Amino acid sequence: MGSRRNFLEKLTISTISIPILYSPTKLFAASTAPYEGPILRVAIMGLGSYGTRVAKAMESCKRAKLVGLISGTPSKVVKWRAKYDIPEKNCYNYDNFDNIKDNPDIDAVYVITPNALHKEQTIRVAKAGKHVICEKPMGINAKEGQEMVDTCKAANVKLLVGYRMHYEPKTVEVIKMRKAGEFGKLKFFQGLSGFTIGDPTQWRLNKELSGGGAMMDIGIYSINGARYMLGEEPIWVTAQETKTDPIKFKEGVDETIQFQMGFPSGAVASCLSTYAMSHLDRFFLNGEKGFVEMRPSTGYGPIKGRTHKGELTQPHITHQTLQMDGMAQLIFEEVQPIVPVDGEEGVKDLKIIDAIYKAAKTGEKVSL
């Protein structure tokens, strides 16, 4: 299995072939010491609520800078240009953004649009020769995700997915503890991801734009969390869907899905993804030697958690700031986070989502 250092393992590099890991020392030092390295110049595509959050977080980045805008709403472009001092030549709409191929001032585009638009937009950005950061889920199914990966490879650009938790300090500390064997043989993971969704007309409840319902939006956190907390890939899934409001949650838009995953070691995961219940943001991991509980586990923070050894005390830093600085370092220096944030990682989650939907529909255990 970016955002999202007292949280990554330092690795002494002895040969050029060994991958570099993100250095926590260097990251925290970057907060106080002047940074003089390369800056990742980013255009944000999609100036909605999450795009706004990313842009604000990037104001604190040392290695990444917002330099361009892509939007279908001219009034938003005007407002953002004034706020972030974006030159007009770096602003595009959804019809003409292919022209970024001729703009040397933009290195990468962060695609933050409805799920069903990700594939086409990512492919267009890649063909324009720019690196792509795509918000999750990267597509509406694994087939789409793999097409995106293949296109970016052919274009010789990087495809990264907005896995901010892979850079979050408490999360990374837990992964380090697991890697060090501090929980012993792992037995069980529980992931609860959900909130009560509001406006019934929003794109998240439109299957043509979202590709599904709560699973695509919030359930993916428990899927990804199970994988990085257990350190394994699931080999089977089962799932059960519950729908109490078929008016709000139309055909193909899931309201609540309970799902289970089995892993090669014998560990199991029991998870809940819902748009109908609030206060659900909890991970729990149990092993023969210890445990970890994180609540909130994936919200914007601060993340809180405790293990059998006590409270997790790593500092809260805005997730998207860490993510964008981390991704800049990955693009320029091949410095990898403790859990990948590349397109292949995104495809793995989409394969599991495909299997969960199949299991919920058929009532059968689906092998992966």
Q: Which two tokens stand for residue 151?
A: 């296109």
The Cα-based distances of 217 to 81, 97, 230 in angstroms read 29, 26, 22
Q: What is the pLDDT along the chain (368 residues), one digit of tens a residue?
A: 433 333 333 333 333 333 444 444 344 434 567 899 999 999 999 999 999 999 999 999 999 999 999 999 999 999 999 999 999 999 999 999 999 999 999 999 999 999 999 999 999 999 999 999 999 999 999 999 999 999 999 999 999 999 999 999 999 999 999 999 999 999 999 999 999 999 999 999 999 999 999 999 999 999 999 999 999 999 999 999 999 999 999 999 999 999 999 999 999 999 999 999 999 999 999 999 999 999 999 999 899 999 999 999 999 999 999 999 999 999 999 999 999 999 999 999 999 999 999 999 999 999 99
Q: Which residue out of 92, 167, 221, 275 is catalytically annotated? A: 221
Residue tagged 């110049």 (tokens) = 41
Alpha-carbon distance 52 to 46, whole Å?
A: 9
Judge whether 221 counts as a catalytic residue. yes
For every residue of 94-147, DSSP letters joined together read: TTTGGGGGG-TT--EEEE-S-GGGHHHHHHHHHHTT-EEEEPSSSSSSHHHHHH
- Domain 173-315+344-367 CATH class label: alpha beta
H/E run at residue 258: strand 256-262
Q: pTM above 0.95? A: no
The residue type of 58 is: M
Judge whether 50 counts as a catalytic residue. no
Look at residue 301 in the predicted model and tell me its pLDDT: 86
The residue type of 353 is: I
CATH 1.10.3480.10 fits 20-164, yes or no: no
Measured over the CA atoms of residue 6, residue 7, residue 13 and residue 19, the dihedral's sign is: negative
Same topology for domains 20-164 and 173-315+344-367, yes or no? no
Residue tagged 């986070």 (tokens) = 337
Count Cα neighbours of 57 within 13 Å in the Cβ-side half-sphere.
23
Q: Which residue out of 130, 136, 170, 207 is catalytically annotated? A: 136
Look at residue 34 in the predicted model and tell me its pLDDT: 85
Look at residue 5 in the predicted model and tell me its pLDDT: 37
Look at residue 30 in the predicted model and tell me its pLDDT: 40
Domain boundaries, given as residue ranges, for the chain: 20-164, 173-315+344-367
- Apex CA 115: angle with CA 3 and CA 339, to 5°? 30
Look at residue 7 in the predicted model and tell me its pLDDT: 33
